[in-house]
């Protein structure tokens, strides 16, 4: 017995010592290598001029994330014309084509003289399709390859990642010596994902064969937890973290252990509220119309909107004949599933005998939507735990009083209950609020006005001034280092 113990402990000791013998030199070598690389790369940098490099490999995508990027560059160009701006991108279009697209999509005119594109060729390394399994770690290591390519092409004074490639931070910070900052739309891993696996439930990247197998689930949990630790580590290289809303902010705060007001700031992305604000607030122009703006996706819970209307018509018959209240559902459909969903909703409306009070408007052009926003009185939003809710902001800017689900972005970021709209949970509550607003509309003048004013927080001008305020300390720091050199 003793002999066995002795052998085991001796084997363990031997293993441990080999490990130390192997690991310690490895660590020392890595440190030396980093040191040498750091000296090499910072000597290559132009120390006289401040430059800001934006890491955005898909810069022509034309979505909300790109609006953030171009607004950020444009406002910097206006305030700091002497700084040089660079965008790392994997897109193939020519510089002129990209600038033209920014102008046509977002109506933003960039200064083409001091904004340059650094062309990346290794973008396939960050594409999800490259990694059928272990996508998280695959894409993250892939982004390091892409980041390494980027650093070799250009080493900026300030590095700003605007697409969530956090694994590029240590490369630019440790080797390049750049000051790293980032704007996060979505955390790469969230505590939600971890607890979902813990609950062994199915979700989008958690396919059936895995959740049915206990050991694999356990393995996945460990994988997620280790990944979260590494994600924390790379996140620590960012000196300034901006998040696009409360939901993202809370996850980043937990996982990266950042502190609001110190190195973590909420900066809402710019929403085009200006055009909506031109619609008249006057109730005279507004119909007894309930407007819903949401893609026909299951989580938007359109069926609850129909049930709410049925309840409203049944409880307050005045909406049937006198007010002739209508529910208009505006939304896009992406595929056959969405189209089937619309058919099912039409069936449900018939079954509830409310089809005369319901209208579906599928993928209508922007000017038609604008007209509806000018005619509607109440807006309805029913998704539970939506991360933000850009549709609700549009309603409010247009002067439509919103009734949103009491959760997620509408609750945390957008609606102040009973001040700039209402938050509801059950169909009965939704129906009460809608009835209130339609039946006593004059009482809600103030709410309408306040709702519109509150959307100023999401405007482009507000984004610009906040962004400049947040980035200024980093630029000041570079300037003071530059003047030390002179």
Ligand X SMILES: *[C@@H]1O[C@H](CO)[C@@H](O)[C@H](O)[C@H]1NC(C)=O
Q: How far is the CB of 324 from ligand X (least distance, A)?
A: 25
Beta-carbon contacts of residue 19 (< 8 Å; ≥ 6 apart): none
CB of 186 to ligand X, least distance (A): 4
How far is residue 334's CA from residue 120's CA, in Å, rounded to a whole number?
31
180 or 424: CB nearest ligand X: 424
Comparison of 82 and 442: residue with beta carbon closer to ligand X: 82
CA proximity to 187, closest of 264, 120, 97: 264
Please give the Cα distance from 141 to 147 (Å, whole number): 10
Minimum distance from CB of 451 to ligand X (Å)?
17
Residue written as tokens 């813990």? Answer: 198
Instruction: Give the 3-state secondary structure of residue 113.
Output: coil
Contact (Cβ atoms closer than 8 angstroms) between residue 118 and residue 53: yes
- Looking at the Cβ atoms of 245 and 421, the one nearer to ligand X is 245
Alpha-carbon gap, residue 176 to 172, rounded angstroms: 4
Nearer to ligand X, 83 or 220 (CB): 83
Task: Give the end-to-end CA distance of the chain in Å, rounded to a whole number.
Answer: 74
Q: Which residues bind ligand X (CB under 6 A)?
A: 46, 48-49, 185-186, 244-245, 248, 268-269, 298-299, 301, 304, 382, 384, 387-388, 405-407, 425
Comparing CB distances to ligand X, the nearer of 277 and 387 is 387
Token digits of residue 266: 């909420």
Dist CA 188 CA 217 (whole Å): 19
Q: Which is nearer to ligand X, 37 or 304 (CB)?
A: 304
CA 351 from centroid of its chain's CA atoms: 38
Cα 159 to its chain centre, rounded Å, is: 20
**DSSP secondary structure of 201-248:** --BTTB-HHHHT-HHHHHHHHHHHHHHHHHHHHHHTT-SEEEESSHHH
Q: Which is nearer to ligand X, 283 or 384 (CB)?
A: 384
Q: Is the CB of 75 or the CB of 244 nearer to ligand X?
A: 244
Closest contact distance (angstroms) between CB of 299 and ligand X is: 6
Question: For 427, left (φ over 0), alpha (ψ -120 to 50), or beta?
Answer: alpha
Using the minimum distance from each CB to ligand X, give the nearer residue, 346 or 375.
346
Please classify residue 116 by burial: count the beta carbons closer than 10 Å to its beta carbon, then call 0-12 exposed, 13-18 middle and 19+ buried: middle
Work out how close the CB of 405 gets to ligand X at its nearest, in angstroms, rounded to a whole number.
Answer: 4
Instruction: Please report how close the Cβ of residue 322 comes to ligand X at its closest, in angstroms.
Output: 28
Q: How far apart are CA 467 and CA 244, in angstroms?
A: 12
Give the H or E element holding residue 5: helix 2-44
Min dist CB 48 to ligand X, Å, is 4
Q: C-beta of 245: minimal distance to ligand X in Å?
A: 3
Report the residue number, 326 or 381, with the smaller CB distance to ligand X. 381
Residue labelled with tokens 């026909």:
296
Q: Least Å distance between CB 458 and ligand X?
A: 8
Q: How far is the CB of 310 from ligand X (least distance, A)?
A: 13
What's the CA gap between 44 and 155, in Å, rounded?
8
């Amino acid at each position: 017995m003793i002999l066995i113990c002795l052998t085991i402990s001796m084997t363990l000791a031997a293993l441990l010592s080999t490990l130390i013998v192997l690991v310690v030199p490895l660590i020392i070598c890595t440190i030396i290598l980093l040191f040498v690389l750091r000296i090499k790369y910072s000597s290559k940098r132009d120390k006289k001029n401040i430059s800001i490099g934006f890491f955005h490999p898909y810069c022509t995508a034309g979505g909300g994330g790109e609006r953030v990027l171009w607004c950020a560059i444009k406002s910097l160009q206006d305030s700091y014309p002497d700084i040089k701006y660079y965008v790392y991108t994997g897109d193939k279009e020519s510089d002129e084509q990209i600038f033209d697209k920014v102008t046509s999509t977002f109506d933003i005119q960039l200064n083409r003289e001091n904004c340059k594109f650094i062309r990346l060729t290794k973008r396939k390394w960050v594409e999800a399709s490259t990694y059928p399994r272990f996508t998280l770690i695959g894409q993250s290591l892939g982004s390091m390859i892409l980041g390494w390519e980027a650093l070799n092409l250009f080493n900026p004074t300030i590095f700003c990642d605007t697409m969530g490639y956090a694994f590029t931070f240590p490369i630019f910070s440790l080797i390049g010596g750049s000051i790293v900052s980032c704007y996060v739309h979505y955390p790469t891993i969230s505590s939600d994902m971890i607890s979902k696996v813990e609950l062994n439930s199915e979700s989008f990247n958690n396919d059936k064969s895995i959740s049915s197998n206990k050991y694999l689930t356990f393995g996945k949990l460990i994988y997620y937890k280790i990944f979260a630790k590494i994600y924390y580590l790379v996140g620590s290289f960012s000196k300034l973290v901006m998040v696009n809303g409360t939901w993202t902010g809370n996850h980043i705060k937990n996982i990266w252990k950042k502190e609001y007001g110190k190195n973590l700031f909420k900066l809402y992305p710019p929403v085009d509220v200006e055009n909506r604000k031109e619609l008249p607030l006057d109730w005279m122009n507004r119909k007894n119309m309930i407007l819903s703006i949401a893609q026909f996706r299951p989580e938007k819970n359109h069926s609850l909107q129909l049930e709410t209307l049925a309840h409203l018509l049944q409880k307050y018959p005045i909406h049937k004949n006198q007010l002739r209240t209508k529910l208009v559902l505006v939304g896009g459909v992406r595929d056959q599933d969405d189209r089937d969903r619309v058919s099912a909703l039409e069936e449900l409306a018939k079954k509830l005998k409310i089809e005369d009070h319901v209208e579906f408007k599928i993928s209508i052009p922007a000017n038609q939507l604008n007209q509806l926003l000018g005619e509607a009185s109440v807006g309805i939003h029913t998704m539970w735990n939506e991360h933000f809710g850009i549709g609700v902001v549009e309603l409010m800017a247009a002067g439509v009083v919103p009734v949103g689900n009491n959760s997620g972005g509408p609750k945390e970021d957008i609606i102040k209950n009973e001040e700039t709209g209402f938050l509801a949970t059950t169909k009965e509550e939704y129906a009460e609020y809608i009835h209130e607003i339609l039946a006593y509309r004059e009482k809600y003048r103030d709410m309408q006005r306040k709702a519109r004013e509150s959307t100023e927080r999401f405007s482009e001008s507000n984004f610009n001034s906040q962004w400049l305020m947040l980035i200024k300390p980093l630029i000041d720091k570079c300037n003071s280092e530059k003047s030390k050199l002179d």
